[in-house]
A and B are shown apart, each in its own frame.
Chain A
């Protein structure tokens, strides 16, 4: 017997039950809200690393400025570091004092004086010992860049 024809027509409406779907969707929403880790946005320092051959084949009569070399040495027995500027420059006790000194001796800028020593394009090389922590290296790099210098480079102390 064909039951389809036997069912009386009652006029009832067929509806999709949304409750189950809403439950699942809310579970997904809660899962992703909990699992998503909103971290502060990352920022970057730009650093151009020129080829070494170019440095080696520099023209004899190029009037390139002598780079200011800032050596970072690991302090024995501790996690700190020592800063040494090559040449007859004052002692720097930390990255902050280095940044202040570089800012005061820049030729342009709000804190510069008329007898500033360096332009903002003056090459500065931070030469760090291999044992220096990345935090300290980035701290010194940040101080130099924050003082308004563009041509900053990083090197590994041989």
Chain B
């Protein structure tokens, strides 16, 4: 026996729920990504050797030292963990102290150095010296400072 329902003409209706779900997911993704990118990476023109022998940094505790580019290959200072250290003797001592305290808390800390490709080596070398000295004078002196040079990946 067939039953005929008489409800009038059928109305097509778009369900908005999946679209809103997807759009919200995209918004959350972009918010999260923009925060991650801005956290400890200053925008600068990193060296990009080609073909590059560098590798992916991987996970692990790290302190990112940004050598802030200045005019004519100089540097305006060193930025680490949101703190700015001036490129002079007292600034370098403060930088050593900051790295030392982080290495004392986290001996397996990597020091990632980011410098603009036009910056002169003489402004980058003090960061390596600071890392070396901080490692040797940490609460538990480390045999070597674990330093990584950051470059742009192959484009």
Using A43-B152, A132-B121 as known contacts, say yes or no to A139 and B49 having CB atoms under 8 A apart: yes
Q: Which of B23, B43, B47 contacts A25 (CB 8 A)?
A: B23
Q: Are A42 and B153 in contact (CB under 8 A)?
A: yes
Tell me how many residues of A have a C-beta within 8 Å of chain B.
Answer: 45
- CB contacts under 8 Å to A, within B115-131, are 115-122, 124-125, 128, 131
B residues touching A (Cβ–Cβ < 8 Å)? 16, 20, 23-24, 26-27, 30-31, 33-34, 37, 41, 43, 46-47, 49, 51-57, 67, 73, 112, 114-122, 124-125, 128, 131-132, 135-136, 141, 143-155
B contact face: mostly helix, strand, loop, or mixed: mixed
Q: Which 4 A-B pairs rank lowest in CB-CB distance, beginning with the nearest?
A: A130-B122, A32-B30, A146-B53, A135-B117
Question: Within 8 Å CB of A14, what residues of B?
Answer: none
Question: Within 8 Å CB of A7, what residues of B?
Answer: none
Taking CB as reference atom, which chain B residue is nearest A54? B143
Q: Are B121 and A134 in contact (CB under 8 A)?
A: yes
